[in-house]
């Protein structure tokens, strides 16, 4: 079999040149970078700039932390070091709630704490009792998980999407956290693997 080959001035050369320019230019500037800055946009991608939290009903406003900008400390690099462990395990970090959903999450956590307090005072840390108290609040039995956590405690998870409510109860108290799920995962349970 004979192959025919065109010279360098054929139609393929301009296409290859254009493709080479595109490939060489890809990734050199990222969203959030100033032109020519060369810094990473990873932090900007993880932190939404438009999310503003406000005090929810019954919550006292927290003081806003002051941050030092690059003008305040010119010798300090503004590019955070790359933490590969955190980067590789980011899929297991819950997505925080913001705005009105944050208030809804705090209110739901308070209702759960109030419903579990009688059980805690009696020392009833049976998963079945906890599940019963949570379904008594109107959560579907299929969306409530509870399990023994040590000899004198119980852990629970409620899938009330868009809210996820997770907590523990033991003789020392009840703790409930509300969040919006996990990145790259559709459920409220903590994922065991990422990509």
Task: Render pLDDT for 8-60 as a digit per residue (tens, 0 to 9).
Answer: 444 444 444 444 444 444 444 444 444 444 444 334 444 444 566 778 877 76
Is residue 46 one of the residues assigned to a domain? no
Cβ contact 156:144 at 8 Å: yes
Residues comprising the chain, all counted: 195
CA-closest candidate to residue 163, choices 138, 129, 133:
138
Domain assignment of residue 113, given as a range: 99-179
Residues 6+ apart with CB under 8 A from 123: 152, 171
Q: How many domains does the chain have?
A: 1
Q: What angle do CA 176, 178, 184 make, to 5 degrees?
A: 130
Task: Render pLDDT for 130-179 as a digit per residue (tens, 0 to 9).
Answer: 999 999 999 999 999 999 988 789 999 999 999 999 999 999 999 999 99
Is residue 39 one of the residues assigned to a domain? no
Is residue 191 one of the residues assigned to a domain? no
Task: Render pLDDT for 178-192 as a digit per residue (tens, 0 to 9).
Answer: 999 988 878 898 887
Residue 176 confidence (pLDDT): 97
Is residue 136 one of the residues assigned to a domain? yes
């Amino acid at each position: 079999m004979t192959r025919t080959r065109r010279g360098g001035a054929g139609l393929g050369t301009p296409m290859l040149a254009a493709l080479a320019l595109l490939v060489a230019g890809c990734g050199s500037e990222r969203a959030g970078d100033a032109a020519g800055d060369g810094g990473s946009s990873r932090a900007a991608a993880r932190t939404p700039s438009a999310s503003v939290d406000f005090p929810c009903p019954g919550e006292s406003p927290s003081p806003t932390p002051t941050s030092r900008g690059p003008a305040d400390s010119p010798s300090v690099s503004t590019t955070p070091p790359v933490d590969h462990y955190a980067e590789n395990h980011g899929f297991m970090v819950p997505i925080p709630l913001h705005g009105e959903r944050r208030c809804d999450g705090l209110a739901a956590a308070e209702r759960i704490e109030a419903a579990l307090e009688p059980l805690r005072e009696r020392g009833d840390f049976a998963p079945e009792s906890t599940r019963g108290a949570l379904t008594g609040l109107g959560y579907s039995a299929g969306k409530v998980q509870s399990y023994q956590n040590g000899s004198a405690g119980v852990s629970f998870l409620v899938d009330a999407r868009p809210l996820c409510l997770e907590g523990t109860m033991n003789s020392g108290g009840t703790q409930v956290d509300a969040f919006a799920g996990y990145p790259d995962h559709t459920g409220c349970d903590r994922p065991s693997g990422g990509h």
